[in-house]
Amino acid sequence: MARWQYLQFCSLSITLYFLNELNVYMTLAIIAVVLGLVLLVWSADRFVEGSASTARHFGMPPLLIGMVIVGFGTSAPEMVVSALAASQGNPGIALGNAYGSNITNIALILGVTALISPIAVHSQVLRKELPILTAVTALAAWQLWDGHISRLDAVILLCVFAGLMAWTIWQGLRKQSDALGSEMQQELDQSVMPIRRAVYWLILGLVLLIVSSRILVWGAVEIAHVFGVSDLIIGLTIVAVGTSLPELASSVIAARKGEHDIALGNILGSNLFNTLAVVGIAGMIHPLSVGPEVFNRDMLVMIALTVSLFIIGYGFRSAGRINRVEGAALMTAYVAYTTYLISTVF
């Protein structure tokens, strides 16, 4: 009897030891995700500020800085996270981050922004960008039909992205005197800094972007392993929301200032970056293979949200407007989608 009690005591001690080790490991993973997200957002902001000021010192036109430097900077978290995830053999996080960010941008960020201040859609630029985004989303769906993003698919995405960037830059440089160029000029004049400080923030922001992304990816993968959740679910939820925080902040600020075109244009531009550049870069580093649920569930949700945004924002009879009711509907769609993802885990 004593021997049996001793064995029970030993087994209980071993179980408690491993549970304690598991709790410590889990705590470290959660801290890594939170710290990685905070550092990622902060370093992306410093990177954009340093890049824009450095480009300003070397005489780059303000509108070009807004379209290229700031555009790449706000999507830098998604790019770096997906690239690192692909290089480490985690295609779920790579694709989940990109497509999940698109879903988050439209359903959550535009929903929150419209609830704060209804978004008027009347810019001719948006009337061009909305069909382009719809076409790019259709291209992404066609490529993911077989659940695989090959290097050839990645090359096609990057070529389309390069073509769109070249066309946008050409259009922008032809209209240097438009409102967007003047607004960008004012913002740069307000945030000008010495060249040494600008280069310092540029380099430091880039280094911290890479470091924070590695921390975030490690923590996300470990949480997925502990809970038995796929990397894809983590990428679609925690990582996607975290890397979309810069878009949330800039869209809310723009909407509160009444700059509705910038608020919506920021989301459309980010989704183009994510679909073309983020997935393209990740696919070039390592071909991405995922289960059929990515197309049957996540891609279809992304397509539905993009089409709904096209219908809401286009304004067939009059200027389009995303009002508070439509904003609440978008947020409800995001909550329903996230709830469904969570229900598939348990």
Cα gap 211→94, rounded to integer Å: 17
The letter for the amino acid at 59 is: G
Domains of the chain: total: 1
User: In CATH, what number is assigned to the domain containing residue 77?
Assistant: 1.20.1420.30
Residue span of the structural domain in which 39 resides? 2-345
Distance CA 133, CA 135 (A): 5
> What number of other Cβ atoms are within 10 A of residue 196's Cβ?
8
Least confident of 235-249, 286-300, 311-325: 311-325
pLDDT reading at 179 higher than 50: no
- pLDDT given for residue 334 in this prediction: 95
What digits encode the pLDDT tens for the residues 31-50?
888 888 888 778 777 776 77
CB–CB of 309/114 below 8 Å? no
More confident residue, 95 or 315: 95
39: Cβ–Cβ under 8 A, 6 or more apart, which residues? Answer: 208, 211, 212, 215
Residue 149 has pLDDT above 90, yes or no: yes
Q: What percent of the chain has pLDDT over 90?
A: 21
Q: Which position has the higher pLDDT, 61 or 146?
A: 146
Rg from Cα positions in the chain:
22
C-alpha to C-alpha distance for 137 and 150, rounded to whole angstroms: 17
Task: Examine the pLDDT at 127 and tell me if it is beyond 80.
Answer: no
